[in-house]
C-alpha cells in the first residue's frame, strides 16, 4: 500500500491504494448509501491506515461561496457575551434567528489588537454583527477590510456609511428624565456608562460629557439634560458620575452623592446593571428605594423585573435587535440605518419623592 509519510493523505491517495476511482471514494464519504457495503468497508479501512478522514469541510464550504455562519465581533473580552445582561439579551435574539435559518454562530473576540485582526481575517463566516462599536474603530476597519457584509449594533457611529441597527439613545434619556420630573423630582443625579476609553471614573463636567468618545453615553446624558432644562433645572447643577458598570465604581459614586448634604431624591442610571448595583448600595446605607431615592435604569434586562424592588427602566428590544441583525447579514445587503423603538417600563423602583433622603 502506498504511504504518504510526511504529507497529508488526499482522496487520490486513498483511491489509488484501494484500487477504486476517486469518485467512489468521494461517494463513500459524502453519499455512502449509493456504495455497496463491502466497498465502503474496504475504502474506510484503507483511509484509516492512510490517516484520511474525508474532504476538509472548510474547503467545500469555501468553494460553495457561502458557509452559512455569522461572526459576532466585539472589542471586549470573550466573557462579555456571557456576563453582560444586554449582550445576553441580544444574543438570545441572534441565536433564535440563526437557529430558524439553520445558520451557525462564531464568536470573535481577542485580548489584544493583533489577535483581533487575525481572528477577523480568519473567521469562517458570511458576515459580521459587531457589538461595542463605539470606540472600536479598529474593529470596523478590520471587518471592512475583510470585504464581508457587517452591521453595527449602535446608531451612534460617526461614519454614515457603516450599516447599523439600534435605538435613539437621546430619546431614551428624555423618556427616563421625563418620568422622574413628572413624579416631582428636582434633585436628580446621573450615573453614566464609560464616556472615554480606559478605567477612569468619578464626577465629570458637562464639557467632559460633550468630549465623550462613547457616543451612546453622551447621547443619553444629552437626553436627560434636555428634559431637566425644560423643567427649569439648571444642567450645570446636576451631579454626573462616570462609572464602569462595576460595583466598585457605582458604589464610589453613591458614596460621593450621599455622604454630603442635600443628596438627590432620584438617580438616572445609564444601564440596568449599574442601576441594580446602585439599589443594593443604597440599601446598605439604610436608604429605601423608592421612598428615599427613586432609581431608573436603561435596557430592560430580565434581571430588573425580578429585583426588589422591580426596576423601572427604559426597555429596548434587545432580542429583536439580534433577530434583525441576523436577517441583515443573511440577506447580504444590510440597510444603512434601522432605528428600533423604546418603551418606558414603570415598576417599583420609582415614586414621588415622599420623604427626604437620609445620609
Answering whether pTM is above 0.85, one says: no
User: Is the same domain home to 280 and 233?
Assistant: yes
User: Can you list the alpha helix ranges (DSSP code H) found in the chain?
Assistant: 11-18, 22-30, 37-50, 57-64, 80-83, 85-101, 113-122, 137-146, 169-183, 206-210, 215-230, 247-258, 272-284, 302-305, 318-331
Assigned domain for 303 exists: yes
Q: Which 3 state secondary structure label does DSSP give 193?
A: coil
The number of domains in the chain is 3
Question: Tens digit of pLDDT per residue, the chain (359 long)?
Answer: 545 444 678 888 999 999 999 889 888 887 788 889 999 999 999 998 988 877 665 565 555 567 889 999 888 888 888 888 899 999 999 999 999 999 999 998 866 667 777 888 888 898 999 986 555 677 888 888 888 899 988 765 566 778 889 899 999 999 999 999 999 999 999 999 999 887 788 999 999 999 998 889 999 999 999 999 999 999 999 999 999 999 999 999 999 999 988 899 999 999 999 999 999 999 999 999 999 999 999 999 999 999 999 999 999 999 999 999 999 998 877 777 889 999 999 999 999 997 554 43
User: Is the same domain home to 209 and 231?
Assistant: yes
What pLDDT shows up at residue 140? Answer: 83
- For residue 159 the three cell numbers come to 461614519
User: Is the same domain home to 148 and 223?
Assistant: no
Assigned domain for 1 exists: no
Assigned domain for 347 exists: no
Q: Which 3 state secondary structure label does DSSP give 297?
A: strand
CATH number at residue 45: 1.10.260
User: Is the same domain home to 188 and 226?
Assistant: yes
Among 133, 167, 201, which residue terminates a domain?
Answer: 167
User: Is the same domain home to 137 and 177?
Assistant: no
User: Is the same domain home to 257 and 297?
Assistant: yes
CATH number at residue 188: 3.40.50.2300
**Residue 181 lies in domain:** 169-316
What pLDDT shows up at residue 159? Answer: 66
Among 112, 142, 167, which residue terminates a domain?
Answer: 167
Assigned domain for 202 exists: yes
Alpha-carbon distance of 140 to 152, in angstroms, equals: 9
User: Is the same domain home to 190 and 303?
Assistant: yes
Is-contact 101 330, C-beta < 8 A?
Answer: yes
DSSP string, 213-250: S-HHHHHHHHHHHHHHHHTT--GGGS-EEE--SSHHHH
Q: Which 3 state secondary structure label does DSSP give 138?
A: helix
User: Is the same domain home to 145 and 236?
Assistant: no
Assigned domain for 340 exists: no
Assigned domain for 323 exists: no
User: Is the same domain home to 157 and 178?
Assistant: no
* CA 263-269-272 angle, 5° bins: 135
User: Is the same domain home to 178 and 311?
Assistant: yes
User: Is the same domain home to 173 and 284?
Assistant: yes
User: Is the same domain home to 92 and 36?
Assistant: no
Amino acid at each position: 500500500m502506498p504511504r504518504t509519510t510526511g504529507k497529508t493523505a488526499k482522496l487520490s491517495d486513498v483511491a489509488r491504494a484501494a484500487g477504486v476511482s476517486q469518485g467512489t471514494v468521494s461517494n463513500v464519504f459524502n453519499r455512502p448509501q449509493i456504495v455497496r457495503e463491502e466497498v465502503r468497508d474496504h475504502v474506510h479501512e484503507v483511509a484509516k491506515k492512510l490517516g484520511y478522514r474525508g474532504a476538509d469541510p472548510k474547503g467545500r464550504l469555501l468553494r460553495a461561496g457561502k458557509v452559512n455562519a455569522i461572526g459576532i465581533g466585539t472589542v471586549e473580552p470573550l466573557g462579555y457575551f456571557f456576563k453582560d445582561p444586554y449582550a445576553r439579551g441580544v444574543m438570545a435574539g441572534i441565536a433564535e434567528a440563526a437557529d430558524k435559518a439553520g445558520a451557525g454562530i462564531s464568536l470573535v473576540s481577542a485580548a489584544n489588537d493583533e489577535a483581533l485582526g487575525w481572528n477577523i481575517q480568519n473567521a469562517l463566516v458570511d458576515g459580521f454583527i459587531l457589538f461595542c462599536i463605539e470606540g472600536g474603530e479598529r474593529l470596523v476597519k478590520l471587518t471592512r477590510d475583510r470585504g464581508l457584509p457587517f452591521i453595527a449594533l449602535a446608531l451612534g457611529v460617526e461614519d454614515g456609511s457603516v450599516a447599523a441597527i439600534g435605538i435613539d439613545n437621546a430619546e431614551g434619556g428624555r423618556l427616563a428624565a421625563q418620568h422622574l420630573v413628572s413624579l416631582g423630582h428636582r434633585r436628580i443625579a446621573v450615573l453614566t456608562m464609560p464616556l472615554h476609553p480606559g478605567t477612569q471614573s468619578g464626577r465629570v463636567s458637562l464639557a467632559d460629557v460633550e468630549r465623550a468618545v462613547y457616543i451612546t453615553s453622551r447621547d443619553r446624558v444629552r437626553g436627560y439634560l434636555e428634559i431637566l432644562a425644560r423643567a427649569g433645572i439648571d444642567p450645570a447643577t446636576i451631579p454626573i458620575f462616570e462609572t464602569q458598570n462595576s460595583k466598585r465604581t457605582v458604589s464610589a459614586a453613591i458614596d460621593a452623592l450621599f455622604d454630603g448634604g442635600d443628596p438627590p431624591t432620584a438617580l438616572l442610571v445609564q444601564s440596568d446593571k449599574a442601576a441594580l448595583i446602585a439599589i443594593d448600595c443604597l440599601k446598605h446605607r439604610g436608604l429605601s428605594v423608592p421612598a428615599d431615592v427613586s432609581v431608573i435604569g436603561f435596557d430592560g434586562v430580565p434581571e430588573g423585573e425580578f429585583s426588589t424592588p422591580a426596576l423601572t427602566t427604559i426597555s429596548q428590544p434587545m432580542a429583536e435587535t439580534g433577530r434583525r441583525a441576523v436577517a441583515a447579514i443573511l440577506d447580504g445587503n444590510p440597510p444603512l440605518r434601522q432605528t428600533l423603538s423604546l418603551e418606558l417600563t414603570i415598576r417599583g423602583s420609582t415614586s414621588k419623592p415622599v420623604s427626604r433622603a437620609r445620609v
